[in-house]
Amino acid sequence: MPIDPTAPYDDDNIFAKILRGEIPNTTVIETEHSLAFHDITPQAPTHVLVIPKGAYVSFDHFASEAGEAEIIDYVRTIGQVAQMCGVDLGEGGGFRLISNAGRDGVQEVPHLHVHVLGGRGLGRMLQPA
Ligand code: AMP
């Protein structure tokens, strides 16, 4: 179910539980402010989720409320994940970043996450409605 975009941050969301160590994950990299782990239902050979450790619902929430150190760490971690997974332009065939937000973005987990997808041709960005 898509999330309610007007709801406050939900401490019981699945990524909050992963951050608290209550649910296992397959970590790719952990930094001071960010965690990257494999998606449980991969849609491509590379499908990694990158989340900030702070309680941010969506990209716009993070962009307006996070501190500079968190933002720098998060952006650099996403780039590192692309490199580590061998999909960056230096090594691989490229990648796609997706961050679904709210109802129209069909966001299922109400904690900011960027999907890093690659390892095969990903087709056009959106299917016609
Ligand atoms: P979104 O629709 O953008 O909110 O994507 C949520 C993503 O979280 C989906 O791709 C799920 O497969 C993924 N997901 C849900 N639970 C877990 C979990 N426990 N570990 C890893 N990925 C998960």
3-state secondary structure the chain: CCCCCCCCCCCCCHHHHHHCCCCCCCEEEECCCEEEEECCCCCCCEEEEEEECCCCCCHHHHHHHCCHHHHHHHHHHHHHHHHHCCCCCCCCCCEEEECCCCCCCCCCCCCCCEEEEECCCCCCCCCCC
* Ligand 1: centre distance to CA 93 (Å): 24
pTM above 0.85, yes or no: yes
Residue 61 annotated in active site: no
Specify the higher pLDDT residue, 90 or 118: 118
Candidates 33, 47, 111, 113; catalytic one: 113
Which pLDDT score, from 0 to 100, does residue 4 have? 58
Residue of 1, 23, 41, 116 to mutate, ligand 1, most atoms within 8 A of C-beta: 41
Band (pLDDT 50/70/90 cuts) for residue 126 is: confident
Assess whether the C-beta atom of 58 lies below 6 angstroms from ligand 1. no
Band (pLDDT 50/70/90 cuts) for residue 1 is: low
Band (pLDDT 50/70/90 cuts) for residue 5 is: low
Region 40-56: mean pLDDT is: 98
Which pLDDT score, from 0 to 100, does residue 128 have? 72
Assess whether the C-beta atom of 109 lies below 6 angstroms from ligand 1. yes
Residue of 3, 19, 49, 97 to mutate, ligand 1, most atoms within 8 A of C-beta: 49
Average per-residue pLDDT in the chain? 94
pLDDT tens by residue, 50-91: 999 999 999 999 999 999 999 999 999 999 999 999 999 987
Whether the predicted pLDDT of 129 surpasses 80: no
Region 20-34: mean pLDDT is: 98
